[in-house]
């Protein structure tokens, strides 16, 4: 009888323990486009109106030393979703185009694909930019996502001069890419609208995203939402609620609309009662497009911007948010978009496939205010090659530039090093900067007057050499070229293309 009672109590204990196990966390990644280190109010901009991102930063962990893997769009997105440098997956040189034959290879494993076996619902909203391809092979629904609503590449990769970017009828600034189809809006693998109507786009995205959050919560199913905004990429656009409401003109209005999206997502979590079981991570794909001047964002005190391997091209604002789990504060630990997939795997128990990852689990930073497992960051240019390898390496607080090169994306700044005509230059010895005391990369330490830094350069070279031994370049997907027949058209049989591809 006593044994029976003990067994009953033991079983009750197991039962209570089982019921006390927390449900799997929901995951939201919010990815901005061409947003600079100095663009947000919480990162010091004096006139940006970003109340929701500021609230996210106040209640979360703000990173000061967070990096994208690339200074341009497609490669940085591949690295975020796979935890691998873009050189491994072949998303180089530059970016993919509407008619690109290549895309993110289907044998690459995305965050969505590691979560699916755990029963996660997965949805993507916004800018994909990892290929459409023959038979729309590379779209998100073939890369682990149950649903997709968005534009599959940059919204300037189609004629925009006759399109409305702000209500009631303010045309887009500039002409964007010519001689290709207008920008389409996809639902899964079907075109819903072509060209997209920009003033209504984000409202559609936000409803799709918040409905997904609500339905997942009601169904008690863990979810992964990847919301890749078009903001604040050129040409800027916004809906009625944000137009004319900021102090920064069109750029500020687009940024405000992005901020409103962040607010809508947070409100949806609260409305569904799941805010305390949802990990939210925000960052951007690369630095600001400074050539657009006041329409192109701000890198703050960092040098140069988009397209370069200076700090302004790859160092990004980032915030991790999870009420009750992540304590509010600021971290100066080194981290990267490459670390997002391993971190999510650690949080959820997802299995990682036996491939070479370049990321590290950030849990010690997030939950213990501890040190990063990452002590290096390798900076690839927009057109990486095995001949030149990485252009720069950060080890701890020091950064060495082996090569430097300007970019058209960062033209118009007073600093000539940023410009398109600042041609590829080799440095031997490398330029060396202390990024803690000199984040603007102004004062080269590798000079005859600073012989004490030779030992630092030796350590950096050793880290670079060891990394390069592990790097195997994948087949270039961008190098496969483009075919106009692959450009998405809502009426494939129409003529003449591309101008006939119009469906509203």
> How long, in residues, is the chain?
504
Q: Quick one: which of 121, 98, 61, 7 has its CA closest to 328?
A: 61
Residue 233: active-site member: no
How far apart (Å, rounded) are the C-alpha atoms in residues 387 and 102?
A: 23
Closest CA to 319 of 266, 389, 271, 379: 266
Residue 320 structure tokens: 């991790």
Would you call 181 helix, strand, or coil by DSSP? Answer: coil
Question: Coil, helix or strand for 158?
Answer: coil
Q: Which of 40, 37, 42 is nearest to 252 (CA)?
A: 40
User: Please, what's the b/e burial string for 235-262 (b: 16 or more CB within 10 A of its CB; e: otherwise)?
Assistant: bbbbbeebbeebebebbbbbbbbbbbbb
Q: What are the phi and psi torsion angles at 329 (to 5°)?
A: 160, -165
User: Which of these is catalytic: 42, 73, 160, 176?
Assistant: 73
- Among this protein's residues, is 129 annotated catalytic? yes
**Catalytic hit among 45, 129, 155, 401:** 129
Pairwise CA distance, residues 223 & 204, whole Å: 20
User: Is residue 88 within 8 Å of residue 343, measured between CB atoms?
Assistant: no
Name the token pair of 225: 């939402």
Q: Which of 112, 123, 189, 196 is nearest to 154 (CA)?
A: 196
Omega before residue 496 within 30° of 0, cis: yes
Q: Which two tokens stand for residue 157?
A: 């990769």
Token pair in block for residue 253: 């209005």
Give dist(CA 340, CA 349) in Å, integer.
Answer: 14
Task: Please identify every residue annotated as catalytic.
Answer: 73, 129
């Amino acid at each position: 009888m006593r044994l029976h009672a003990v067994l009953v109590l033991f079983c009750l204990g197991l039962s209570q323990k089982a019921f006390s196990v927390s449900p799997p966390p929901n995951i939201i990644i919010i990815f901005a486009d061409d947003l600079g280190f100095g663009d947000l109010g919480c990162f010091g901009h004096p006139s940006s109106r970003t109340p929701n991102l500021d609230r996210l930063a106040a209640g979360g962990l703000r990173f000061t030393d967070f990096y994208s893997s690339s200074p341009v769009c497609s490669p940085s997105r591949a690295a975020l979703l796979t935890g691998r440098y873009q050189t491994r997956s072949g998303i180089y040189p530059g970016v993919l185009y509407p008619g690109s034959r290549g895309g993110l290879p289907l044998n690459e494993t995305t965050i969505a694909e590691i979560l699916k076996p755990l029963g996660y619902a997965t949805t993507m909203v916004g800018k994909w930019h990892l290929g459409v391809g023959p038979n729309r092979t590379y779209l998100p629904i073939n890369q682990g996502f149950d649903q997709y609503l968005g534009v599959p590449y940059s919204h300037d990769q189609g004629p925009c001069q006759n399109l409305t970017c702000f209500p009631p009828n303010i045309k887009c600034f500039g002409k964007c890419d010519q001689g290709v189809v207008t920008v389409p809006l996809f639902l899964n693998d079907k075109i819903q609208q072509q060209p997209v109507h920009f003033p209504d786009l984000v409202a559609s995205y936000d409803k799709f995203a918040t409905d997904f959050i609500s339905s997942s919560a009601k169904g008690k199913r863990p979810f992964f939402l990847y919301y890749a905004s078009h903001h604040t990429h050129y040409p800027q656009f916004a809906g009625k609620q944000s137009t004319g409401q900021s102090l920064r003109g069109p750029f500020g209005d687009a940024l405000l609309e992005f901020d409103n999206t962040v607010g809508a997502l947070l409100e949806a979590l609260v409305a569904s009662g799941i805010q305390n079981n949802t990990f939210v991570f925000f960052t951007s794909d690369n630095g600001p497009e400074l050539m657009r001047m006041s329409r192109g964002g701000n890198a703050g005190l960092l040098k140069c911007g988009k397209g370069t391997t200076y700090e302004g091209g790859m160092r990004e604002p980032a915030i991790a948010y999870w009420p009750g789990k992540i304590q509010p504060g600021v971290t100066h630990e080194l981290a990267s978009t490459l670390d997002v997939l391993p971190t999510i795997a650690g949080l959820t128990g997802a299995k990682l496939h036996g491939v070479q990852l370049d990321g590290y689990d950030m849990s010690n930073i997030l939950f213990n205010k501890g040190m990063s497992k990452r002590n290096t960051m390798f900076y690839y240019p927009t057109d990486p090659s095995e001949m030149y390898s990485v252009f720069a390496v950060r080890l701890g607080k020091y950064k060495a530039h082996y090569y430097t090169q300007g970019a058209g994306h960062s033209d118009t700044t007073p600093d000539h090093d940023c410009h398109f005509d600042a041609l590829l230059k080799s440095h031997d010895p490398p330029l060396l900067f202390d990024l803690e005391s000199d984040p603007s990369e102004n004062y080269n330490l590798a000079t005859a007057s600073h012989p004490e830094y030779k030992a630092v350069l030796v350590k950096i070279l050793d880290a670079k050499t060891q990394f390069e031994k592990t790097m195997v370049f994948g087949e270039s997907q961008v190098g496969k070229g483009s075919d106009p027949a692959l450009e998405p058209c809502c009426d494939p049989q129409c003529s003449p293309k591309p101008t006939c591809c119009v469906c509203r």
